[in-house]
Structure 1
Amino acid sequence: MIPSSRSMALAVAAMAWCVALPAWAQPTSAAAQLQHWEAAAGAPGQPARGKTLFTTKAGNDLSCASCHGAPPTAASRHASTGKRIEPLAPAFNAERFTDQAKVDKWLRRNCKDVFSRECTAPEKADVLAYLLSLKP
């Protein structure tokens, strides 16, 4: 029996997913994330621009700092749910930016919540540069 083109396409897609999944779920670090977004942006992240982006309220009267604090170096509370949020700055929370899937999920979700859109690569590089500039 000859497989249909649809079943072949599904098999190829499943194999591609299995190959890509381990790469997508790789451990990472804040420094590696910064390098990734700087490469995607084609320019180094700027901590000052990242701080401005992090603290400026968008159209829905929220900023990143609304939930993560300003500066994001201590535990804080979600603006609407009150749920505890651990420090965002990597120097104050070693687990931040160590799981690629979580980084992608939360950057996408939080940018959409605050800015009603996904953040650009330069914006992500700037925010990560800002977060990495915060030291104890």
Structure 2
Amino acid sequence: MTRILAALAVAAALAAGTALAAGPRDTLLAGYVAEAGAPASAARGEAFFKATHSGGKPDTASCTACHTADPRSAGRTRAGKPIEPMAVSVSPDRFTDPAKVEKWFRRNCNSVLGRECTAAEKADVVAWLTGQ
């Protein structure tokens, strides 16, 4: 369903004459925005990413627990494995594989929040990290 909504959002933008590079990251973000029914906000994405949340695991109450507060820096898992930087400017392949993005959002949101992220939360985080 998300892929269909993303494709429709991209098609509508192109039909309206909007300058939109319909790459995989754009399509992913457009799908989250369409599902959320509201535009993405990079400012909300940054605040969400850096906030301390309740409901998840105590040692991962924030995305920054593993990813660091600077998305251009490498992080570490709880097991000590390195995590490539989240910023698209440093890791250009970030957010280009929808199945991989969904896998990690599902896993990490459950760890940090104790639930899955909403489409709006995903859109906001992707919008922020795309600009980093």
TM range (shorter): 0.7 to 0.9
Q: How many residues align?
A: 106
Deviation at residue 107 of structure 1 after TM alignment: 0.6
Shift of 1:30: 2.5
Is 2:52 the partner of 1:57? Answer: yes
Q: C-alpha distance in 1, partners of 2:129/2:38?
A: 17
Deviates more, 1:101-110 or 1:89-98: 89-98
Aligned twin of 2:72? 73
Gaps of 5+ in 2: 1-22
- Residues 111 and 117, structure 1, Cα contact 8 Å, conserved in 2: yes
Which fold has the larger relative contact order, with Cα–Cα distance below 8 Å and residues 6 or more apart in sequence?
Answer: 1
Structure 1 residues 102-121: Cα deviation after superposition (integer angstroms, max 9, x where no partner): 11110111000000000011
Instruction: Give deviations 1:31-64, integer Å, cap 9, x for gaps.
Output: 2221110111111111111111101111235211
Q: Considering only aligned residues, what root-mean-square deviation do their CA atoms show, in Å?
A: 1.4
TM-score calculated relative to the size of structure 2: 0.74
Match of 2:91 in 1: 93
Identity of aligned residues (%): 48
Residue in 1 that maps onto 2:103: 105
Paired residues of 2:71 and 2:85 also in contact (CA < 8 A):
yes
Structure 1, unaligned runs of 5 or more: 1-27
Structure 2 CA distance for aligned equivalents of residues 69 and 87 of structure 1: 9
Q: Structure 1 segments of 4 or more deviating over 4 A?
A: none
Residues 47 and 130, structure 1, Cα contact 8 Å, conserved in 2: yes
- Normalising to structure 1: TM-score of the pair? 0.72
Q: Match of 1:56, as an amino acid?
A: A
